Amino acid sequence: MGDLLLVRHGETEWSVTGQHTSWTDLPLTGHGEEQAKSLAPLLTGRTFALALTSPLARAIRTAELAGLTGLIPDPDLHEWDYGGYEGVTTREIHRTRPDWNLWTDGVPPGTEGHPGESPAEVGARADRVLARVGDALADGDVILVAHAHFLRVLTARRLGLAPADGRLFQLATGTVSRLSTEHGRPVVAAWNVRP
């Protein structure tokens, strides 16, 4: 059984300011590009049975700069749809909703085509990704390049936890994490690794 490697894209302007970023397709900052390049030594020489990326440019660019090739864009790896909170910081939300929590309260609908998602809806996408990579993991390692909140939910689901338990896994920009198995059960083998 192979390992599941998770790569969070490099820094963007909104990841620095803490703005919720789902469909807004921001480029990496200069520092984000350097973060992505620095991941190459962690990934060089590895063979992947399957390599998937979010269709958003920040994830694709991170993969390119990290030296990954042959990645297949997968729409299910898209970041959590933040609906009406797209571009808004948690601090700003707390001005009108002081007790708001993404993991329990979800988000209000946004503009047309961006209704927002609940943890359960993001969890359903994560479950579809995990189902797709299941056979490939039997053949070797799998790598996913995507976004913080989505990868946190996917980690929770891989470990048999509820989608909202993704709140337990803080994930920094420009990092590699590794989900493995121990005695046939999924475990976190490495988290937020940087060179």
Domain residue spans in the chain? Answer: 4-81+118-193
Give residue-wise pLDDT tens across range 74-94: 999 999 999 999 999 999 999
Percent of the chain at pLDDT > 90 equals 98
Number of neighbours of residue 136 by Cβ within 10 angstroms? 17
- 183 confidence band (pLDDT: 50, 70, 90): very high
- 39 confidence band (pLDDT: 50, 70, 90): very high
State the catalytic residues: 9, 79
Binding residues for substrate, by number, are: 58
With a CB cutoff of 8 Å and minimum separation 6, the contacts of 155 are: 6, 166, 169, 177, 179, 188
Binding residues, by number, are: 58
Give residue-wise pLDDT tens across range 106-130: 999 999 999 999 999 999 999 999 9
Going by their DSSP bridges, the two strands 72-73 and 185-193 should be labelled as unpaired
Question: How is residue 52 written in tokens?
Answer: 């998937």
Superfamily of domain 4-81+118-193: Phosphoglycerate mutase-like (3.40.50.1240)
